[in-house]
A and B are shown apart, each in its own frame.
Chain A
Amino acid sequence: MKKTQQSQNRSPDFLSSASIPHGAHVGIVGVPPLAVIEKLHEARAIIFDLDEPQVKADMELTAAHLPRVYCAILRTVVLNALHLKLDMIFIDVGPGKCDCAFHVSTVLLDILDIPIIRTRNEDSVSFGNPICQTQMNLLEKLKKITKGVQSSVAFEVNEYPPCKPTAGFWGVPPRDFSLLTLFPDTTHIYGWTRCMENKTPADTTLEEQFNADIPTIFFAQSFCAKTALAKFLATRHPKALYLDVDVTCSSSTRAKIQAFLELSGVPHVAR
């Protein structure tokens, strides 16, 4: 109990009372508020996105801290946190992320001896979403958007003009990016990923948008609360496939994506 009490003392309202050491190695979970990103840049911090695989280690190592049946993104967060040498972690636990992240922050507070700073990103200034709508390999788009979380600058619409969409990808950046290779370059992105690029991760109105004129795959991580929204929206869309994937994309899941796109008249990339 003593450690937990000490840990909790480290967490609240960190930005107003403490500083980020110059060149600190900082982990981020979710989309930190813009004010945090700007502070990290001022301190020339080295940022590690803990939502993405950063280490080659067995996911099973997280089983001591999280149930095996749990969001693969958050299991990845714990796996990264166990292996990286970090000076602090900013973890978003507000409406722009999820309750599961809040509970994971409690676990991190207990197992790590570094500051774990909880944030609630409710930024509402729209940065736009040119990447979501431009013609580009979908995997590259997702890489740009997730990398863009570490930036305080918007992508230029002149540099990334919109294209006519032929397919839609709705959802969060998947744990396994390989499934993105199955989509055509003219895929438009919706859902929380669009909110990420817009730097408004708590904008549920934006998150619920989709294009009813294009075949769309509604994706969520298995065991994530967003599976409910993905499934709900898929029932509202005239040409949709609901899909949830855990850690890695199986061959049958890949086949489902391929078949859905092909049978919906969308040419796909990989066979």
Chain B
Amino acid sequence: MLLADFGTSYCKFLDLAGQDREPYMLPTKKLPKGLHVDLATGHNGKRFSEHYVNELTALARGGEELIRSRDYVLLDCGSRDIKYVTYKNGELADMGWNSECGASMGFTIELLERYYDLDYAHLAVPKTTFSVTCGVLGMSHIFDAVTSGISEAEAVARFVKGIAINAYRFCGSPETLYLSGGLCDNPLFVGSFPCKVVALGRYVLIKGLEATAGNHLSLAP
């Protein structure tokens, strides 16, 4: 049984019949033609499967599998949106999905690294930040800062910190934040949150699909 999380920039897969059962990913623009999976999530997922789980549900199920605490906030930062679930006493207490004001944050972070030829692993978390509520609109802060003499690296770092703080506030400013998504691998982004961060990686939604396949859905043809 093939499970897939179809993201904007990357797609994540898990073959439950595979030998190692290790998840893997492919760039979205390199997906093979005619691809069909047994269970899908992600904004593109309905095109590739008859069985679809919406992203918030997959995120929540993934959190239930991976997080031992009964009280937590789990935030997923994707290429084009941010979403979170809050659990209290082991039950869903709140959720949110920002696909408008959170638009393109992850995508923009990746774009900027390539454009300015930077390496986020070597950028320090800046003391100051930009007020960023949207990846696209926030870029003007970078251009203005560079024009005023601030280095490109510092300007981008402030932008990334602004995105992290915006996401932190969006999910309710928790003391500890469980983070999902490819940005878990970005030390500048993770270090920019003003709280303790537990990075769960980019396969949380896949874990949620795995739980759904096992417990909540019969996929018999």
Chain A hits for B92, CB < 8 A? 239, 260, 263-264
Decide: A252 and B95 in contact? CB cutoff 8 A.
Answer: no
Instruction: Report which B residues bind A (CB closer than 8 A).
Output: 43, 52, 54-57, 60, 81, 83, 85, 91-92, 94-100
Decide: B57 and A258 in contact? CB cutoff 8 A.
Answer: yes
Known: A252-B81, A271-B52. A262 touches B97 (CB 8 A): no
Number of interface residues of A (CB under 8 A): 15
How far is it, in angstroms, between the C-alpha of A67 and the C-alpha of B82 when the chains are bound?
29
Which among B52, B56, B96 has the highest number of chain A CB atoms within 10 Å? Answer: B56
Chain B CB within 8 A of A259 CB = yes
- In-complex Cβ contact of A262 among B57, B96, B98 (8 A): B57
Chain A hits for B56, CB < 8 A? 255-256, 258-259
How far is it, in angstroms, between the C-alpha of A87 and the C-alpha of B23 when the chains are bound?
66
Chain A hits for B99, CB < 8 A? 250-252
Chain A hits for B43, CB < 8 A? 251
- In-complex Cβ contact of B54 among A239, A241, A255 (8 A): A255
| A183 shortest CB reach to chain B, Å | 15
How far is it, in angstroms, between the C-alpha of A256 and the C-alpha of B57 when the chains are bound?
9
| A127 shortest CB reach to chain B, Å | 36
Decide: B81 and A256 in contact? CB cutoff 8 A.
Answer: no
How far is it, in angstroms, between the C-alpha of A260 and the C-alpha of B54 when the chains are bound?
11
- In-complex Cβ contact of B97 among A239, A252, A263, A271 (8 A): A252
How far is it, in angstroms, between the C-alpha of A72 and the C-alpha of B95 when the chains are bound?
24
How far is it, in angstroms, between the C-alpha of A241 and the C-alpha of B95 when the chains are bound?
8
How far is it, in angstroms, between the C-alpha of A258 and the C-alpha of B95 when the chains are bound?
12
**A-B pairs with lowest CB-CB distance, top 9:** A259-B56, A252-B97, A255-B54, A252-B99, A259-B57, A263-B92, A263-B60, A255-B56, A258-B54
How far is it, in angstroms, between the C-alpha of A59 and the C-alpha of B206 when the chains are bound?
40
| A242 shortest CB reach to chain B, Å | 9
Q: Which B residue's beta carbon lies closest to that of A271?
A: B52
How far is it, in angstroms, between the C-alpha of A187 and the C-alpha of B97 when the chains are bound?
24
How far is it, in angstroms, between the C-alpha of A251 and the C-alpha of B43 when the chains are bound?
9
Known: A250-B99, A252-B97, A255-B97. A263 touches B57 (CB 8 A): yes
| B113 shortest CB reach to chain A, Å | 26
How far is it, in angstroms, between the C-alpha of A239 and the C-alpha of B90 when the chains are bound?
12
Q: Which B residue's beta carbon lies closest to that of A259?
A: B56
How far is it, in angstroms, between the C-alpha of A256 and the C-alpha of B81 when the chains are bound?
14
Decide: B52 and A256 in contact? CB cutoff 8 A.
Answer: no
Q: Which A residue's beta carbon lies closest to that of B212?
A: A262
Q: Which A residue's beta carbon lies closest to that of B102?
A: A252
Decide: B60 and A256 in contact? CB cutoff 8 A.
Answer: no
How far is it, in angstroms, between the C-alpha of A256 and the C-alpha of B83 when the chains are bound?
10
How far is it, in angstroms, between the C-alpha of A119 and the C-alpha of B90 when the chains are bound?
49
| B195 shortest CB reach to chain A, Å | 22
Chain A hits for B55, CB < 8 A? 255
How far is it, in angstroms, between the C-alpha of A258 and the C-alpha of B46 when the chains are bound?
15
Chain B hits for A250, CB < 8 A? 99-100
Chain B hits for A262, CB < 8 A? 57
Chain A hits for B98, CB < 8 A? 252
Q: Which A residue's beta carbon lies closest to that of B91?
A: A239
How far is it, in angstroms, between the C-alpha of A251 and the C-alpha of B52 when the chains are bound?
14
| B58 shortest CB reach to chain A, Å | 9
Which residues of chain A (233-265) have a CB below 8 Å from chain B?
Answer: 239, 241, 250-253, 255-256, 258-260, 262-264
| B50 shortest CB reach to chain A, Å | 10
Chain B hits for A253, CB < 8 A? 97
Decide: A259 and B60 in contact? CB cutoff 8 A.
Answer: yes
| A128 shortest CB reach to chain B, Å | 33
Would you mind naming 29 contact pairs between A and B with Cβ atoms under 8 Å apart? A239-B91, A239-B92, A241-B94, A241-B95, A250-B100, A251-B43, A251-B99, A252-B81, A252-B83, A252-B97, A252-B98, A255-B57, A255-B97, A256-B56, A256-B95, A256-B96, A258-B54, A258-B56, A258-B57, A259-B56, A259-B57, A259-B95, A260-B92, A260-B95, A262-B57, A263-B57, A263-B85, A264-B92, A271-B52
Q: Which A residue's beta carbon lies closest to that of B216?
A: A262
Chain B hits for A239, CB < 8 A? 91-92
Chain B hits for A252, CB < 8 A? 81, 83, 97-99
Q: Which A residue's beta carbon lies closest to that of B53?
A: A271
Which residues of chain A (56-99) have a CB below 8 Å from chain B?
Answer: none
| B81 shortest CB reach to chain A, Å | 7
| B54 shortest CB reach to chain A, Å | 4
| A54 shortest CB reach to chain B, Å | 28
Chain B hits for A256, CB < 8 A? 56, 95-97
Chain A hits for B91, CB < 8 A? 239
